[in-house]
């Protein structure tokens, strides 16, 4: 009986006379993309179902037809969009890089890769995951693979013990520091142009900058070079 009632609702809500189908995955995927775009731009709390429907050129009833409730829509955002990006970042390549520094470089590379294929991710991450009270925070952070995260921290600590990594680096916050270096400039690109007018942010330049900034700090290469320069000038 519930299925019949749902079909009646969907028939009444059908945009432009088209009768929706429960297996109309293309329409559902498109509406999910629309919702994510609005969430990244405005924040979830400032986005209504009616606004999602208008942007997706459907009725509010159609939004409920595909996602039932707002909470299930948020579940879908994480399950079907955010979680795959997290796993792509942490997925180990067939030939895992040797050495802590190369693993850091590989993680950074995958972070930039996912933000290129999903340009909405930096803004959504800062708005709804990083901030306390973000409406995707617990959903998303629970998807970070704890075993791989712990192994990464152990790799960094072991490299520090061998003298390969700057001992001032805190292994427990390194991954989130890396995310910040990637996500913040991309999410704030428009605002940054108000203070630094010029061409749009060059993603490749940013990646080189982040890699140089982070790996220099990890290894202490830059301070060592400065010390040599001072000695040579004496």
What single-letter DSSP state applies at residue 165?
S
pLDDT in tens, 141-165: 999 999 999 999 999 999 999 999 9
**What is the largest distance, in Å, between two alpha-carbon atoms of the chain?**
88
State the pTM of this model: 0.80
Higher pLDDT, 231 or 145: 145
Q: Which among 55, 39, 37, 38 has a CA at the least distance from the CA of 119? A: 37
How many Cβ atoms are within 10 Å of 18's Cβ, its own excluded? 10
Quickly state the pLDDT bin for 191 (edges 50, 70, 90): low
What single string gives the DSSP state of each residue in 209-226? Answer: HHHHHHHHHHHTHHHHHH
Confidence of residue 194 (pLDDT cuts 50, 70, 90): low
Is the model's pLDDT at 15 over the cut of 50?
A: no
* Spatial contact of 139 and 124, defined as CB atoms under 8 Å apart: no
- 51 Cβ partners below 8 Å, 6+ apart? 38
Taking the C-alpha atoms of residue 33 and residue 41, their distance in angstroms, rounded to an integer, is 12
Q: Look over the chain and give the mean of its residue pLDDT values, rounded to a whole number.
A: 84
Instruction: Report d(CA 231, CA 226) in Å as an integer.
Output: 9
Name the residue with higher pLDDT: 125 or 222. 125
Per the CB < 8 A criterion, the answer to whether 53 and 62 are in contact is yes
Q: Which domains, from first to last, does the chain contain?
A: 2-13+21-68 (1.10.10.60), 75-221 (1.10.357.10)
- Calpha distance 36→124 (Å, rounded): 8
Q: Per mean pLDDT, which range of 121-135, 168-182, 187-201 is the poorest? A: 187-201
Which residue in 162, 33, 131, 57 sits closest to 154, CA to CA?
Answer: 162
pLDDT for 1: 42
Structure tokens at 161: 């013990």
**Interval 25-74: pLDDT, tens:** 899 999 999 999 999 999 999 999 999 999 999 999 999 999 999 999 99
Residues with Cβ within 8 Å of 36's Cβ and at least 6 positions away in sequence, in order, are 77, 81, 120, 124
Mean pLDDT of 211-223: 76
The residues, ordered by sequence, that sit 6+ positions from 200 with a Cβ below 8 Å of its Cβ are 189, 193
pLDDT given at position 4 = 40
pLDDT of amino acid 38:
98
Which parts of the chain fold into alpha helices (H)?
A: 2-13, 25-42, 49-55, 60-67, 70-77, 83-90, 100-117, 121-125, 137-141, 146-161, 171-187, 189-195, 203-219, 221-233
Record the tokens describing residue 107, joined without a space: 């993680």
Q: How far is CA 194 from CA 53, 57, 177, 188, 232, in A?
A: 32, 33, 25, 10, 41
Which one has a higher pLDDT value, 49 or 13? 49
| pLDDT one-digit tens code per residue, 108-141 | 999 999 999 999 999 999 999 999 999 999 999 9
């Amino acid at each position: 009986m519930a299925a019949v009632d749902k079909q009646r609702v969907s028939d009444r809500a059908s945009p432009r006379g088209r009768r929706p189908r429960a297996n109309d995955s293309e329409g559902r995927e498109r509406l999910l993309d629309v919702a994510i775009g609005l969430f990244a731009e405005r924040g979830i709390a400032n986005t209504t179902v009616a606004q999602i429907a208008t942007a997706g050129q459907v009725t509010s009833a159609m939004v409920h037809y595909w996602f039932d409730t707002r909470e299930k829509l948020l579940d879908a955002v994480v399950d079907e969009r955010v979680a795959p990006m997290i796993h792509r970042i942490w997925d180990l390549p067939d030939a895992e890089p040797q050495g802590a520094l190369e693993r850091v470089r590989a993680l950074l590379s995958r972070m930039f890769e996912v933000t290129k294929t999903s340009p909405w991710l930096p803004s959504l991450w800062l708005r709804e995951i990083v901030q306390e009270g973000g409406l995707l925070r617990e959903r998303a952070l629970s998807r970070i693979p704890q075993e791989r995260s712990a192994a990464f921290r152990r790799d960094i600590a072991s490299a520090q013990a061998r003298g390969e990594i700057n001992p001032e680096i805190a292994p427990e916050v390194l991954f989130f520091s890396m995310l910040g270096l990637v996500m913040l400039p991309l999410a704030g690109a428009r605002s940054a142009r108000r203070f630094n007018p010029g061409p749009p942010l060059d993603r490749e330049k940013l990646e080189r900058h982040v890699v140089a900034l982070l790996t220099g700090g990890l290894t202490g290469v830059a301070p060592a070079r400065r010390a040599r320069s001072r000695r040579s000038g004496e």
